[in-house]
Chain A
């Protein structure tokens, strides 16, 4: 290290607090817009990846963004429900495979997603512990949800007693954890999945009780006309589906009329997709079909705009910070006037004296830039994981 650079280094070390503050300030000013841009790009990539993995979403007409956010990220109020018949309509069109979703219930703070086995195929999800859900009343839990809820295969989860479809409220259902999914680094990691029929049971649209034809169930019977039994309202319904009582669970009404929140549609090919999109264009059509990528692109445009404003704001703060830093340097030089005179008097060359002074500026700036570079690397490396953990779930 040259003599002058050594002196500069000793100076910086001696005034370590001032040096640290200046280095951090410069590092932040350099890093913030870059880091912001990295994070926004990574967020956009993740949001886009999820949307790209979902060809089409169908749901009730209304807010497209809310429908997409609810069905892809489970992160919004559930959209207005549509009839299960709409999923059958898609299937019977032979244009796409329909994967119904039932949203709205939670267990503790984790969303319960009612769906079919095809959902797991679509998302590439597979079981890491235990097995896939097989019968009514079972659930499989996303990797992160399992860790946070502290559950594994064989444990139980109880749905939260929230009202979704019925003002009268629904009883909580105790579900058996059949398996835990492998991490997918998507919102699926934070969800609890049940069969669609289990979701309907949680909603109170299906239930189990003892056989009303049984002699022991007479206290539950309000009236009997031949083979037609009217049950009392006080009949006790099971709040857990077990191998012993599973056969008693049933639904009243037509399955086609039961509610779902959305349909993920997997078209056969591009032509089928276009045809399917065309089928829902009528003005009086109560169902909307969305391409999630288009909806997310609109959202991301807004995010990018906000990012630009944020970067501009950071830039303005940065200019102010750099001006302040410049002022600090100038004041520092002024305070070191006597030192400069001493260096000149004992024969310090102009270059050496200038180097000593400028090295402070250069040293702090370089350290700030290096720190900004490190922060940027760290952001690039860990940003995706942090986004998944704190923003997308």
Chain B
């Protein structure tokens, strides 16, 4: 069997201060697969992404990402793994206001010594930026970008390390239809080119036809007992 992009087994995660528990008996994504997890805003979909990325650890269960059981890794190892293999697109983009577009895109290389900021990395950053129409704005700070441009810069940051798995949290939230399409095109183009798996959590039903599989997030909820 081919190595899954990620696999969650028997996951239990209790939300702090709440009565609800996230239960994922099994969730598996194959390499190259595009999966959307649909659910209302504030349902906890981000937590699912955090579990897959190793940002959060489940109370019980096993998370295997890109062939590595990340729940068995220490914090430093998980961070290094995440930096190398996982690309994250945040709901609020989370660009650093004091860095230029190019420096934001290259941020993963600067904050983990496991990654080396070399010439190919810089070339990839510029190519990604050109691909999303940011080639002329690499020197600008995020404050001087439009909403859509900021989102595209965040996308480039997620993809610059050539991750095996891309986790996108509401990647098209608050975007106009034009920019929404551009964002999706960029994600899918990367996935097609690299064979990376794509897991997107969203509340936007209009996106669903673009994905190979749609999972209802409500199926992972359970009241605490």
Contact = CB atoms under 8 A, between A and B. Distances in A.
Interface in B57-108: 75-76, 79-84, 86, 88, 90, 94, 96-99, 103, 107-108
Interface string A8-20: 0011011100000
B147 interface: no
Identify the interface centre among B79, B108, B117: most chain A CB within 10 Å of its CB: B79
B109 interface: yes
Contacts, number: 79
B55 interface: yes
B110 A346 contact: no
B109 A345 contact: no
A6 B16 CA distance: 36
A7 B111 contact: yes
Contact of B88 (A4, A14, A346, A352): A346
Interface residues of B, number: 31
B76 to A, nearest CB: 6
Interface residues of A, number: 24
Given A339-B96, A342-B94, A347 B110 contact: no
A346 B96 contact: no
Given A342-B94, A342-B96, A346-B82, A6 B113 contact: no
A346 B111 contact: yes
A348 B99 contact: no
A353 to B, nearest CB: 7
A380 interface: no
A6 B111 CA distance: 10
Given A6-B110, A7-B111, A15-B98, A349 B79 contact: yes
Give the interface SS of chain A, mostly helix, strand, loop or mixed: helix
A345 B51 CA distance: 11
Contact of A356 (B75, B111, B117): B111
B99 A7 contact: yes
A349 B96 contact: no
Contact of B111 (A4, A14, A15): A4
Interface string A134-171: 00000000000000000000000000000000000000
Point out which of B53, B113, B141 has the most chain A C-beta atoms below 10 A from its C-beta: B113
Given A7-B99, A345-B90, A350 B75 contact: yes
Contacts of B109: 3
Interface string A341-375: 01111111111110010000000000000000000
B113 A352 contact: yes
Interface in A310-365: 338-339, 342-353, 356
Contacts of B111: 3-4, 7, 343, 346-349, 352-353, 356
Given A339-B96, A342-B96, A352-B111, 9 more contacts: A6-B110, A10-B99, A346-B82, A346-B108, A346-B111, A347-B108, A347-B112, A347-B114, A348-B79
Interface of A: 3-4, 6-7, 10-11, 13-15, 338-339, 342-353, 356
Interface of B: 50, 53, 55, 75-76, 79-84, 86, 88, 90, 94, 96-99, 103, 107-114, 117, 141, 157
Nearest 5 CB-CB pairings of A with B: A347-B83, A3-B110, A14-B98, A348-B111, A347-B82
27 contacts: A3-B110, A3-B117, A4-B110, A6-B110, A7-B110, A7-B111, A11-B98, A14-B97, A339-B96, A342-B94, A343-B107, A344-B55, A345-B50, A345-B88, A345-B94, A346-B88, A346-B107, A346-B108, A346-B157, A347-B112, A348-B83, A348-B111, A349-B83, A349-B112, A349-B114, A352-B112, A352-B113
